[in-house]
A and B are shown apart, each in its own frame.
Chain A
Amino acid sequence: MSFPLSRRAAGLLSAAFLATSALTAPALAQTPPSVLVVGQIAEPQALDPHAVTAVNDFRILMNLYDGLVRYAPGTLEVEPALAEAWEISEDGTVYTFTLREGVTFHDGAAFDAEAVVWNFERMLDEDHPYHFTGPFPLSFFFSVIEGVEAVDTHTVRFTLSEPFAPFLSNLAYPTGLIVSPAAVQEHGQEFGRNPSGTGAFRFQEWRSNERVTLVRNPEHWDGMAASEAVIFRPITDANTRTAEMLSGGIDIMVEVPPVALSRFDGPGFEIVEQAGPHVWFLILNTREGPFTDVRVRQAANYAINKSALVDDVLEGTATVASGPTPPAFAWAYAGLDPYPFDPDRARELLAEADAEGAEITFYVTEGGSGMLDPVPMGTAIQADLAAVGFDVTIETYEWNTFLGRVNPGLEGRADMAQMAWMTNDPDTLPFLALRTDAFPEAGGFNSGYYSNPEVDALLEAARVSTDQDERARLYKEMQEIVQQDAPWVFVANWVQNAVTTDRVANFALEPSFFLLLKDVEKN
């Protein structure tokens, strides 16, 4: 028998070998200086700030656009941006902004009062000729606006239907960023892929699922950005994102998975952390079942070992929550001590309430915005509760299904459900999720039916007060009562993290969780 195959196989093999070495020959280039490459967690949906809802998109938008106001660096307090100053009427219903002069949009159009009016009318007026470029899912942030008018070229006046304290914070949110009317008129529904604002960077290119490229805006009113360009790369898989960071393919990586953090401990990388306006909690059904009794609710708060959850399950990417308001809202945070981990106290309370062996149906989600690591957290919580005498059954749902079951209220379905919120104002979460008037049947998110007239009154008063010190006092009082009433188990406040290479300087994370890259340098 001859062996024609062997020779051929050998030829194939060596050809394959040559081909591979040819492929691998050029050394992998490092990313060039002054161009920041950011590893994002997903492809953006659109670059129209009024049309999107995801933090992932906000990270790009905050660098492309400016709002009338913004959060001062490192805080959640509002400072001037496109508006230089503002006045609020005595009754808190009229806001008059003086706009910065000489600002132009990236497309060359002038920024003036008419542009501001146009922005809000596009979002809020269903008959506006460009309302069709929506939908604008978060436009209800501004539903209190009754009218916007241009007083002169650089003065704009908002009239509200009622006093609404979070108005300024909402203007600092991405939904309040100002887009170029001319660019929307030119691109129509395609504006989200051809954005134009006044921000420190201007849009250059968007290649589907590969990158969004922004370049420095040399005419930015607040000074020129430190880097020439930023590239946002969507890398959905956390392991792949970590591998890209380790191999030098990206300079900045956000949302590092807890288990991967230790890989970046060594030289060459910097880990950056920042607690945000986020709270992770368990909604307790106060309308029926064991949690109607406040002692059982407090027992659950004592029974769960929150330090173990944040340190072991979340690997230190969160801190223990003490109440409904996260510490990131420094000015409104009451600084209460969290419920300590005290299983004996929990057992006592359960005995007093005659609720030993209470059966609990516990809704757990597989994942979702701000939910951290819900499944392992859910099982750890189940074990802690079982240790003091609860009988907990977990039901797990995919995120959208989960919301569809939790948001309409827990009655008839469950005793306890995981939830997390991230908000831009200390008002938002308690107002939407802890008031009597926010029961699901009334269109709110109070899915556990907590009701305390004192809390209702405090929240109503804080919402209409335009005096920040007064608001702070009211929120602090609210936190004390809510902590005692324990309508939720307060579990964790997320600490956002990021890793940069040591070529990156001046990088910081903001409590708002926005990514501000204007002053970030790279050599």
Chain B
Amino acid sequence: MAVSPLVPHASSVAASSSNAGNKFENDSGINPPNKTKRSSSPQRMKNPDREITEQLNDDVRHKYIKDKKLGEGTYAVVFLGHLRTDPSSFVAIKKIKVNAEYKDGLSMDAIREVKYLQELSHPNIIALHDVFSSKDQNLNLVLEYLPRGDLEMLIRDSNIHYGAADVKAWMGMLARGVWFCHENYILHRDIKPNNLLVAADGEVKLADFGLARSFADPYLNMTHQVITRWYRPPELLFGARQYSGAVDVWSMGMVFAELLLRVPFVAGNSDLDQISKICEAFGTPTEENWPGVTRLPNYIPADPNHIVPLQGRDFFLRQFPTAGPVGADLLMSMCTLDPRKRGTACQILQHGWWLAEPKPTKKQDLPRKVGGTKKMGDDLTRRGGELDDTSFKNAARQLDFGAARD
């Protein structure tokens, strides 16, 4: 986050004698240099509305120029923009429609996204360069420009061929991003392929922090209605209110499986269906393999006639031959039903798979797809954690250019 500083700017004003106020107004270089307030133009007389905070905001706002619109949803509009001083330095400006329909002020999605991205700075997490407000009280997030689409696009595109080394590279970047979030005690809670955007240099970046929250405090309830269903771990499907970083690790496992299979691995069409598909795929949760599971608020007793035993290593190896035995072992540790036995993000990164053959592809050599710009616009306009109930995910976020408002 690059933000122009509070003190230096303000102190420059204080340093300049008695009519500090006037100086401040003219100091930005944006307004025409009116020497005194009284001699200034009529509008300025009428609207001496440039408080210090507004001035600071203007400074940030005027650093960027909005170019074309990349996408629009009900929640936000995304523009391509660039630095005023450097037309080649692109940014994505996500304009959040503040007054949309939410009467309780700024929506939680926007608050979460801004709050956490302001604190996180890592190569595998989308960078928030600045935030400013524009007319009509719209919130503008200046985000890193990621022109190469998202992982979902790569998974779905049958013209793109990729192999184990590529998957390893992508997973490594994802796992680093997630690990860094957890190191900062932030859960992402919406990891899925279309929240994993690809930068111009091939780096994968975790985006959309609309459902993120800080964690680890004891006795604090958290909502279980998070994470897009196909990537939601069983403990959340069972309504757990106290959980850990393991929820994101499960989602990572699902992304891993999807990268290998090129279709979502467990794609339930309702929460119940999701549970039964998970049981079929990985085994039925029981008190033996997951102590306490039956006491989770929304636990559904399994059909005693249809108990699937916990899947072992050979199952994963059979299902995901491309991962190899070591990779299958890693996937298994991500997809462990009992969240306490699931690997942590740190343990995932300590796994031997990363150092095993094949080496991860260098990011500049990863398969790429053109036309990702629109995809970024698309991904960023989605409301945080939108749970797509439609059968295929893209359908839920068709661009709505007709409804353009500004």
A, B: real partners: no
